[in-house]
Structure 1
């Protein structure tokens, strides 16, 4: 091919390339302007913007786009900031929850971090092992292993020490409980402070239930009584499930149900009254030598004998048949408690007087009023008994 032909070919290619380039530049410009005019509506983000027809020229279109983009960025920045604050709050909550849980446990137990180990075992664990025993054995991997520190021979002394500690503590609690001058809340506090140590022992649990029951008996605050009655009933229920043949577990479950019947509405009152009778009868079978079970049965019989007409109808509607009893039956139980332990209770004398009054035996009623007045007034129950006996005396002298 000649040199002039080559030059012509090259010149033609250059002209064609220039034409294509100009065509591409023109096409891109047209497409860009169309894209600006056809911008999707959701970019507006519910804000009012001027429409494409209101914009004049390419400069106005670009300015509108920039305004929209700035508003979008502002909203996105606000959303990101909110998410960061939320993440920080979640992190703080995660850090606070374990501390809060530990604090609540400490408040409920009375003291946190109390060890269940006996002093003998703690001493053994704190002693360093100075040398390997000749009894060390070789494991399958060829490592030396120490002999079992909790052998049967070593467990026996530990259990013995724990039993001795429990017996000593229960003896102390029973001694305090027999003293009528002691504030019952002090005894309950002592029991709660040792719940971590002895809380799985039946003999401890029913005494803890007794502690709640005696605080209720000596309280004048109705709301406080309700709180302690609910807690005490749960504690006594635990003891009852652990040892249903223990008469004192039956007795204190019955007593706490009795308090619930006094503090709840009529339907709950009747429900707990039935539970009271059921478990009180079981307690009488298991510990007939305990005067309190006969006194409580007398109280139940007296209250049933004094049920109003509407209460009897309600009981018949709910349970099919209402409970029945008589003043004579109540009297026989109060007399039995007095026979087992003379002067057992100031309140027992009061109910003996009430029974004889209701049976129109004025002389016997006044006799037991005098017996009640001779006993000292040492606690809230005694004060209530003193007020009741004065009312009985007044009713007898004004008939």
Structure 2
């Protein structure tokens, strides 16, 4: 099975490989094992986010959102399956970040807290992951750009100070 994941990791980086086929094969493998493999689960997050990007490129926002919701579903499942995996927490952060624009301000602030919590876990496991540091930088930028009203909501609901 390790060979399958190694090959899958190579294929997902190859733009010539059909993304839907990658998703379907991975989902089949994941389901055949009773949805208990965190390694496959976080990779489902990755491919769902890639499929979302492809939909956004085609200006199909509603279909992109469906893929982002699917990614978030798998991200939550992956955390349940292996809460000690850096990749699980990293891709949870990516999924929660992609969901944030689709929810209310209050939910977005809650998701920001979730992002920070999972980011802290990920870097405690592996502090050298460049993508994790990049995502954290983007998160800090988003927090710095909260509107006055969003800051007031954060203070009221979460005792958050900026």
- Is residue 54 of structure 2 the alignment partner of residue 213 of structure 1? no
Contact 1:261 1:271 in 2 (8 A): no
Q: 5+ residue gaps in structure 2?
A: none
User: Following the alignment from structure 1 to structure 2, what is the Cα–Cα distance between the partners of residues 178 and 264?
Assistant: 30
Name the SS of the counterpart of 1:321 in structure 2.
coil
Name the SS of the counterpart of 2:128 in structure 1.
coil
Q: Which has the higher contact order (CA 8 A, sep 6+)?
A: 2
- Is residue 116 of structure 2 the alignment partner of residue 298 of structure 1? no
Q: 2:69 aligns with which of 208, 216, 230?
A: 230
User: Following the alignment from structure 1 to structure 2, what is the Cα–Cα distance between the partners of residues 250 and 270?
Assistant: 18
Contact 2:30 2:37 in 1 (8 A): no
Quote the residue 1:202 is aligned against. Answer: 38
Report the CA distance shift for 1:281/1:214 in structure 2 as closer, same or farther (over 3 A): farther
Q: Matches of residues 103-114 of structure 1 in structure 2 within 5 Å?
A: none
Aligned length: 158
Q: 2:146 aligns with which of 276, 291, 307?
A: 307
User: Following the alignment from structure 1 to structure 2, what is the Cα–Cα distance between the partners of residues 283 and 200?
Assistant: 21
Name the SS of the counterpart of 1:219 in structure 2.
helix
Contact 1:184 1:218 in 2 (8 A): no
- Greater mean alpha carbon deviation, residues 168-177 or residues 313-322: 313-322
Shift of 1:247: 0.4
Using structure 2 for the length normalisation, give the TM-score. 0.86
Q: Matches of residues 127-276 of structure 1 in structure 2 within 5 Å?
A: 166-180=1-15, 182=17, 184-198=19-33, 199-220=35-56, 221-276=60-115
User: Following the alignment from structure 1 to structure 2, what is the Cα–Cα distance between the partners of residues 246 and 218?
Assistant: 27
User: Following the alignment from structure 1 to structure 2, what is the Cα–Cα distance between the partners of residues 218 and 237?
Assistant: 23
Using structure 1 for the length normalisation, give the TM-score. 0.37
Contact 1:188 1:212 in 2 (8 A): yes
* 1:120-161 deviation line (CA, Å, top 9, x unaligned): xxxxxxxxxxxxxxxxxxxxxxxxxxxxxxxxxxxxxxxxxx
Report the CA distance shift for 1:276/1:217 in structure 2 as closer, same or farther (over 3 A): farther
* 1:160-194 deviation line (CA, Å, top 9, x unaligned): xxxxxx11210111001222454543422331232
User: Following the alignment from structure 2 to structure 1, what is the Cα–Cα distance between the partners of residues 82 and 25?
Assistant: 23
Report the CA distance shift for 1:282/1:231 in structure 2 as closer, same or farther (over 3 A): same
Name the SS of the counterpart of 2:55 in structure 1.
coil
User: Following the alignment from structure 2 to structure 1, what is the Cα–Cα distance between the partners of residues 31 and 73?
Assistant: 17
User: Following the alignment from structure 2 to structure 1, what is the Cα–Cα distance between the partners of residues 117 and 14?
Assistant: 30
Structure number with higher helix proportion = 2
User: Following the alignment from structure 1 to structure 2, what is the Cα–Cα distance between the partners of residues 240 and 278?
Assistant: 12
Please provide the CA RMSD for this pair: 1.9
